[in-house]
Amino acid sequence: MQKAIILIGGPMKGTRFRPLSLELPKPLFPVAGYPIISHHIEACVKIPEMKEIILIGFYQPNDALNKFIMDVQQTFKIQVRYLQEYTALGTAGGLYHFRDQILTGNPESFFVMNADVCGDFPLEEMLAFHRTKPTGTFCTMMGTEATRNQSLTYGCIVENKDTHEVLHYVEKPETFVSSIINCGIYLLSPAIFEPLEKAFKENLEENYSFDPSTPSKEVIRLEQDLFVPLAASGKLFVFHTNRFWSQIKSAGAAIYANRHYLAIYHRTHPERLEKEGEGKPTIIGDVFIHPTAQVHSTAVLGPNVTVGKNVIVNEGVRIRESIILEGATLQNHCCVLYGVIGYNSGIGAWTRIEGTPNDPNPNKPFAKLEIPSMFTTDGKLNPSITVIGSNVQVPSEVIVLNSIVLPDKSLSGCFKNQIIL
């Protein structure tokens, strides 16, 4: 029996994802037509012994989350539960807090996946690899190759090349350690709760205080509190993948993930990809159009476009490398390039919405997507994907370039490299 835990975090996180995370929890943001964590769940249910998927986070239960859980249970015929932390407990604190629920049914092992990553997850191969490791192995982590410079922003793994045992682990080192980075996806044995309990008690003792206003430290971090001391113990291993993998921490990363998930559909769900036909729009490359969307036959879409529920795309519209969210309306001959159009927003006729792509350097093998800071050192907005928040009205015949528009605005003219509050 196998289980999977998806760590979905909470409302304090995802600041670089705003305003997209203002309307619904970031893990439910649709990429390639489906919520981010729906792709995680789909990868998990391919494992024959998978019996339960648990979401752990500190979002208040809400209609969107409840509806998502009901939908995936019906779609995948598997039990999905949400366990709410009373506060942010870290990447391992929630596992320890809900250990009884996780161990119910005596699972052989369980996956732990961070919600803010995307990829072509080879979970079945990872499970087969984990089963070849010695009895008593605590954890197999998924690793991939990055460039030397980029590795400094991730957890870095030094391994025994023959056995793939983790010999050294450093989270975001100051100098180069290894180009093998942690993907944020783990396969844990139930025995992991032994070192987890030890880390929990050590944290409590170190932070014990007689001051009632000082809370005990109940946060446990898998990376720093477990992987660092477990390295070179013979109980921690790394499984390599060279498939697509990236973090999703910004709108640019969502566009990048959208492109790759659409490409994966060729193998997993070709029926989701739009095809040209009589009375249909012109399709270039990979495009997902929700069945309830209305797209004019003279529109040109693609490559790498997702059109959500009840979207209206009028005559002559051009969309490329973009996500159009539910209820948006695109008037005649407008153009959306490298952008996200928010829920129920309207784009006027002959208007151009354009962002700057932020792809990995194609000349550097193993380069990952850069997640730059929102502002430059002199306080200017870094060029990036243009994001139009929900319920925004953009007038006709204007240009919005490299900008972020917060919800419920009616724009009056052109904007470049601005945040419209």
**What DSSP assignment string belongs to 109-153?**
EEEEEETTEEE---HHHHHHHHHTSPTT--EEEEEEE--HHHHTT
Q: What whole-number percentage of the chain has pLDDT above 90?
A: 76
Rg value, the chain, Cα: 22
| Helices vs. strands in the chain: H and E counts, helices first | 9, 32
Within 10 A of 31 (CB to CB), how many other CB atoms are there?
24
Banded pLDDT at 78 (limits 50, 70, 90): very high
- Amino acid identity, residue 56? I
Distance CA 265, CA 356 (A): 25
Domains of the chain: 2-247 (3.90.550.10), 277-420 (2.160.10)
Strands 393-394 and 415-416: unpaired
- pLDDT (tens digit, 9 = 90+) per residue, 177-195? 999 999 999 999 999 999 9
Q: What angle do CA 118, 119, 120 make, to 5 degrees?
A: 150
Residue 367 has a pLDDT of 86
pLDDT at 384 over 90: no
Which of 99-103, 196-200, 289-293, 359-363 is the least confident region? 359-363
Banded pLDDT at 383 (limits 50, 70, 90): confident
- Report the run of H or E that residue 184 belongs to, with start and end: strand 180-188
Roughly what angle, to the nearest 10 degrees, separates helices 36-45 and 251-268? 30
pLDDT at 320 over 90: yes
Banded pLDDT at 322 (limits 50, 70, 90): very high
- pLDDT (tens digit, 9 = 90+) per residue, 263-281? 999 999 999 999 998 999 9
pLDDT at 24 over 90: no
> How far is residue 332 from each of residues 296, 302, 312, 327, 394, measured CA to CA in Å?
10, 17, 10, 16, 13
Who contacts 375 (Cβ-Cβ below 8 Å, separation ≥6)? 381, 382
- Amino acid identity, residue 184? G
Residue 3 has a pLDDT of 97
Q: Which residue has the higher pLDDT, 86 or 354?
A: 354
Residue 249 has a pLDDT of 86
Residue 361 has a pLDDT of 80
> Side by side, which strands form the sheet with 322-324?
287-289, 305-307, 322-324, 339-341, 386-388, 404-405, 419-420
Residue 12 has a pLDDT of 61
As a residue count, the chain comes to 421
Q: Contact, 254 vs 341, CB < 8 A?
A: no
Mean of pLDDT values over 140-163 = 95
Identify the CA nearest to 390 among candidates 405, 411, 412.
405
Within 10 A of 229 (CB to CB), how many other CB atoms are there?
15
Residue 328 has a pLDDT of 98
**Residue 24 exposure: Cα atoms within 13 Å on the Cβ side:** 18
Identify the CA nearest to 194 among candidates 96, 275, 71, 108.
96
- pLDDT (tens digit, 9 = 90+) per residue, 202-238? 877 776 655 555 555 678 888 999 999 999 999 999 9
For 102, the 3-state DSSP assignment is helix
Mean of pLDDT values over 25-42 = 95
Distance CA 336, CA 100 (A): 49
